[in-house]
Amino acid sequence: GAVVSQHPSWVICKSGTSVKIECRSLDFQATTMFWYRQFPKQSLMLMATSNEGSKATYEQGVEKDKFLINHASLTLSTLTVTSAHPEDSSFYICSASTGGNTEAFFGQGTRLTVV
Amino acid sequence: AQTVTQSQPEMSVQEAETVTLSCTYDTSESDYYLFWYKQPPSRQMILVIRQEAYKQQNATENRFSVNFQKAAKSFSLKISDSQLGDAAMYFCAYRRAPNKIIFGKGTRLHILP
């Protein structure tokens, strides 16, 4: 199957700093990438959808200035959490697909802890 | 708006037995995909099986099969010969272009040795 690599797997940062998470499709071109947040024992909450070369579409309630998403190429998307606060601590997951009604392939996830 | 409902927060099954996880969805579309994803303790999301709505034949992948009832908007997952490695959170998901994938709340499956 297709491989999506997400980096880092975990990160600890100080409150007020920014942290960047990368999501790469290793063996296919991802026209669409999704970013999710997952709280413990809960489902995935879609934060935004990004299409290569276009601005990301954010879900209602997600602050676009706080969660910056860039999808500059067909194999790379980044999520930057700006001015992180402890309440931003969570598990973030990216997924990538070739668009249409096909399945999405997921990265390993990033556990972010803001101290 | 489309919704996906998984009514069983948790289920348990004896090893080697068969278990069925339920999923219903709501949509007014006729062309879409349905998926079951597995999330083990590692939290890596793994695609288990997919079903194209235009196909009447139920999808199967080894020990995993679905019962797709389009008119009833039902999409259940059957796991045969359950193994300890099947213990995970299972998410039912719906996708219709443009692109957004909608997940259910999940069902946690326990395998009893």
Distance CA B57, CA B32 (A): 15
Structure-block tokens of residue A49:
């959808």
Q: Do B47 and A105 touch (CB under 8 A)?
A: yes
Q: How far is CA A14 from the centre of its chain?
A: 20
B33 vs A: CB within 8 A: yes
Which of chain B's residues have a Cβ under 8 Å away from the Cβ of A43?
91, 103-106
Q: Which whole number is the average pLDDT over A93-97?
A: 93
Cβ atoms of B109 and B101 within 8 Å: the answer is no
Predicted confidence band of residue A52 (pLDDT cuts 50, 70, 90): confident
Q: Which whole number is the average pLDDT over B80-108?
A: 91
Q: Which whole number is the average pLDDT over B72-92?
A: 97
**Torsion sign (Cα): B88, B59, B101, A71:** positive
Which of chain B's residues have a Cβ under 8 Å away from the Cβ of A51?
99
pLDDT at B100 (0 to 100): 79
Structure-block tokens of residue B11:
């289920």
pLDDT at A100 (0 to 100): 63
Predicted confidence band of residue B62 (pLDDT cuts 50, 70, 90): very high
Among B43, B91, B96, select the one facing A109 at the smallest CB separation. Answer: B43
Residue A7 has phi, psi (to 5 degrees) of -145, 135
User: What tens digit of pLDDT does each residue of A11-43 get?
Assistant: 999 999 999 999 999 998 888 899 999 998 899
Q: Do A100 and B47 touch (CB under 8 A)?
A: no
Q: Check pLDDT > 60 for residue A101.
A: no
Nearest alpha-carbon partner for B102 in B92, B90, B110, B88: B92
Structure-block tokens of residue B33:
């995909």
Sort strands A110-114 and A105-106 into parallel, antiparallel or unpaired. unpaired
Cβ atoms of A101 and A113 within 8 Å: the answer is no
pLDDT at A1 (0 to 100): 67
Query: Is it true that the peptide bond before B9 is cis, omega within 30 degrees of 0?
Result: no
Task: Classify B85 as helix, strand or coil.
Answer: helix
Q: Check pLDDT > 80 for residue B1.
A: no
